[in-house]
Amino acid sequence: MALTGIQIFKLLPKTNCKECGVPTCLAFAMNLAAGKAELASCPYVSEEARAQLSEAAAPPIRPLTVGSGENAVKIGGETVLFRHEKTFVNKPGFAILISDVTPGDEINERLKRFKVLRYERVGLTLRPEMIAIKNESGDPSKFETLVKKVKSETDAALILMSEKVEALAAGVKASSDRVPLIYAATDGNLEALANLAGENKCPLAVKATDLETLSGSAEKLIAAGLKDLVLDSGSRTLRRAFEDQVFIRRAALLQKNRSLGFPTIAFPCEMTKDPMKEALIAATFVAKYAGIIVMSDLQGESLFPLLVERLNIYTDPQRPMTMQPGIYPIGNPGEESPVLVTVNFSLTYFIVSGEIESSRIPSWLLVMDTEGLSVLTAWAAGKFVGDAIGAFIKKSGISEKVKRRQVIIPGAVAVISGDLEEELGSDWKVKTGPREAAHLPAFLKMGA
Amino acid sequence: MAFQIPQITYSGKIKEVTLGKGPKAVTIGGENSYPFHLFEGEMAHPPRIAMEVYDAPPEDWPETALEPFSDVVHDPVAWAKKCIESYGADLVALQLVSTDPNGLNRPSEEAAETAKKVASSIDVPLIVWGSANADKDGDVLRKVAEVCDGMNLIIGPVVEGNYKQVGAGAIGYRHTAIASSPIDINLAKQLNILLGNLGIPDGQILVDPTTGGLGYGIEYTYSVMERDRMAALTQQDERLQFPIICNMAKEVWKTKEAKASAEEAPALGDPRRRGILMEAMTAVVLLLAGADILVMRHPEAIKMVREMISDLMAK
């Protein structure tokens, strides 16, 4: 974990040779601590210091990847307990569970749901990424067949679950190019699975019954040369599992505990039989720290809210979500339909477009690039003002889509209507809409 | 090396607030740790759920939300009783939507009468929520406070634009005020200071951080609440040590995803279960951030969230 500038300074040559580009070693150390310089810029640093410093620079929770190709799932790499302290970085992977004793029809249905349940939002595709394949039959060849099937029919990142080393070996053999997560190393099979994971360069999950044993097992695996581990504390009641998530995250960040400095895997599917409740348990782990969340099934009604929650919690709080600027037709509008203009802060867009939709009056919504600022902030920053909006409207191409030359502006910026009219010229009219988006349906229904 | 639980030391505590009167009065607050971090502190009083009642029949609710109340939507008193008798509500939240000047614009006196009728026919605490039009609420909530003298209602939203008017009513007629600020910790603190300066005792203030629905800004609410709790519990920020109330149901059920039918949105699954889950999931997220009271709508969502609270607090 991060050293202070002074701690780093002690490891440097202290010759003030200036070859790194700054006048003193102390200044260079300060830059290193702030992440503004690279150790490689110092030509004289000793091997020993280099090793110590790179060890210290390693992220407290190891980032790792399960899967390969475009749908590879990156997890871990988190640096904070609360998203407002910086941001959460790597969204937890959502996995659907498939067992080799599940009837074939049901397996096909699940694979189909895995493939079709996708949603477009703020220009992103929200989808589940992972499939956990469980060997319940005890038969390695049956397991291998299912792994092959899932691999060939989907792009899923795979989690291979079995209590038998032999079955896991067969599963890995069938899918090692897909870089599956092997689940799970326990006291009894630690060495065998360490070899399997090491030889195939696959990440390995570690499961224990409490954090002390978990940390001990992880330590052994690290000593065996493994780098990519995923932790399962074994708790399956909500309170214990929640607390373990908090403990593991804190141990990694606050105690710099290397043996717990890995992403976690949570199993709502093993915590309840009620699919609705399972979704709420999964929601808990989205907010509180899971790296992978395994669910017994995926249905639109539970998956969609979970995907949206995950998107929300993992949004960078320092950078607002933005919409692509442009013309958004709502409800199949025509050339006489109303034209409204707003900012490209995604929340504003969602609320405004939602209200227009609920009015059931087909409309054109123009979304202008305000760098993600909301209406009033963008106005105050001089980005959502008459001449800027006028120029945007003229360039947007809306004139080719409508005959009625009238644009509705948010009520909060009523003061700009004069400037905007001037900028647009005499054939356009500017109408001031309501201050609150909630009043848009009434406003539009009155014949705006 | 033995594993040591990495604990955080807290220096503050959320104030306790008692709502309502008599044997069914409800006390909330009193936490001295982050939400459900029971290994290093306690939640003296578990989070509670208030059930919504509207003062006019809802027009834009999806069938799922309307169905449990279809026999009582015309009568707020019957509605409130149903919430308590059929669904075991700990608190009732009367939403005075009909007073909205941009809607039905019913007079303040009428709203105050409705509030009084509901308050005197139930024995659980009553939250009275205005239309969120600062001017109108100033008048409506002031009158509600007056006609319900001494009933210890919970009235709001109290905002910077009407805090003197509503605050005076809360002091004079002994009610609890809901200090409402637009998802901003500094504005929240400032309003709490203003209410304190006005003379509202600490035991009569709740904070409404403004709630965004799932997919509609919940992350802002979530982080403001976490920051609020961090400041209150670890930085001794005394003017943020108040219980938090989230008026969330209306934010959930107005979204197009909660309303869409199976035909309109086949990929969104079963519309009934979807709506209920969206409400329950929003509740779970807010609980994890520090909510003390959730204003909720659907009985099944409420049942599930109660179970989640008890599982998270299970010994």
Residue contact B273–A302, C-beta within 8 A? yes
Whole-Å CA distances, B308 to A237, A247, A293, B249, B304? 11, 20, 18, 17, 6
Nearest CB neighbour to B223, from listed A251, A284, A317: A317
In eight-state DSSP terms, residue A259 is G
- pLDDT per residue of chain A (448 residues) written in tens, 0 to 9: 467 888 889 889 999 999 988 999 999 988 887 767 778 888 898 888 888 887 777 789 999 999 999 999 999 999 999 999 999 999 999 999 999 999 999 999 999 999 999 999 877 899 999 999 999 999 999 999 999 999 999 999 999 999 999 999 999 999 999 999 999 999 999 999 999 999 999 999 999 999 999 999 999 999 999 999 999 999 999 999 999 999 999 999 999 899 999 999 999 999 999 999 999 999 999 999 999 999 999 999 999 999 999 999 999 988 777 888 999 999 899 999 999 999 999 889 988 998 998 888 999 999 999 998 999 999 999 999 999 999 999 999 999 999 999 999 999 999 999 999 999 988 899 999 999 898 999 999 988 6
Give pairs for B259-267: CB < 8 Å, separation 24+.
B259/A358, B259/B60, B259/B62, B266/A300, B267/A116, B267/A117, B267/A118, B267/A119, B267/A300, B267/A304
Select the residue from B7, B311, B312, B315 to test the A interface by mutation, using most A Cβ atoms within 10 A: B311
In eight-state DSSP terms, residue A331 is S
Q: Note the pLDDT of residue A47.
A: 86
Nearest CB neighbour to B102, from listed A238, A239, A442: A442
Chain A positions touching B223 (Cβ under 8 A) are 82-84, 317
Residue contact B215–A354, C-beta within 8 A? no
Distance CA A374, CA A348 (A): 7
Does residue A435 sit at the B interface (CB-CB below 8 Å)?
no
For residue A182, the cross-strand partners are A160, A204
Q: Note the pLDDT of residue A392.
A: 95
Select the residue from A295, A304, A314, A377 to test the B interface by mutation, using most B Cβ atoms within 10 A: A304
Tell me the CATH class for B20-308: alpha beta
Does residue B104 sit at the A interface (CB-CB below 8 Å)?
no
Residue B59: closest CA among chain A residues belongs to which residue? A358
Answer for the pair A370, A343: CB distance below 8 angstroms, yes or no: yes
Residues recorded for chain A: 448
> Could you read off the pLDDT of B195-221 as tens digits, one per residue?
999 999 999 999 999 999 999 899 999
Is the omega angle on the peptide bond into residue A170 within 30 degrees of 0, that is, cis? Answer: no
Nearest CB neighbour to A251, from listed B6, B37, B227: B6
Residues recorded for chain B: 315
Interface list for A 365-404 with B (CB within 8 A) = none
In eight-state DSSP terms, residue A100 is T
Residue contact B218–A312, C-beta within 8 A? yes
B1's CB contacts (< 8 A; 6+ apart) are none
Nearest CB neighbour to B311, from listed A83, A238, A439: A238
Interface list for A 52-81 with B (CB within 8 A) = none
Residue contact A82–B226, C-beta within 8 A? yes
Tell me the CATH class for A64-313: alpha beta
Q: Note the pLDDT of residue A1.
A: 45
Q: Which fold has domain A326-445?
A: Rossmann fold (3.40.50)
SS3 label, residue A99: strand
Residue A369 φ then ψ, to 5°: -75, 105
Does residue A212 sit at the B interface (CB-CB below 8 Å)?
yes
Select the residue from A209, A308, A310, A439 to test the B interface by mutation, using most B Cβ atoms within 10 A: A308
Does residue B23 sit at the A interface (CB-CB below 8 Å)?
no
Distance CA A82, CA A325 (A): 31
Domain limits, chain A: 5-57, 64-313, 326-445
Interface list for B 51-70 with A (CB within 8 A) = 60
In eight-state DSSP terms, residue B16 is P
Does residue B255 sit at the A interface (CB-CB below 8 Å)?
yes
Which positions of chain B have pLDDT values less than 70? 1-2
Chain B positions touching A442 (Cβ under 8 A) are 102-103
Nearest-CA distance B169 → chain A (Å)? 28
Q: Note the pLDDT of residue B4.
A: 86
Q: Note the pLDDT of residue B43.
A: 96
What's the gap between Cα A97 and its chain centre?
A: 21
Distance CA B125, CA A41 (A): 67
Q: CA-based angle B277:B283:B286, to the nearest 5? A: 140
Neighbours of A154 (CB within 10 A): 16
Q: CA-based angle A163:A167:A168, to the nearest 5? A: 80
A and B: number of Cβ contacts within 8 A: 152
Distance CA B177, CA B203 (A): 10
Q: Token pair of B282, please?
A: 């929003």
Does residue B248 sit at the A interface (CB-CB below 8 Å)?
no
Domain limits, chain B: 20-308
The domain defined by A5-57 carries CATH number 1.10.15.40: yes
Residue contact A354–B216, C-beta within 8 A? yes
In eight-state DSSP terms, residue B146 is H
Distance CA B258, CA B74 (A): 23
Residue contact B256–A358, C-beta within 8 A? yes
Chain B positions touching A86 (Cβ under 8 A) are none
Question: First and final CA of chain A: distance in angstroms?
Answer: 59
Chain A positions touching B182 (Cβ under 8 A) are none
Nearest-CA distance A272 → chain B (Å)? 11
**Closest Cα to residue B100, out of B126, B75, B74, B135?**
B135
Does residue A304 sit at the B interface (CB-CB below 8 Å)?
yes
Residue A82: closest CA among chain B residues belongs to which residue? B226
Residue contact B214–A309, C-beta within 8 A? yes
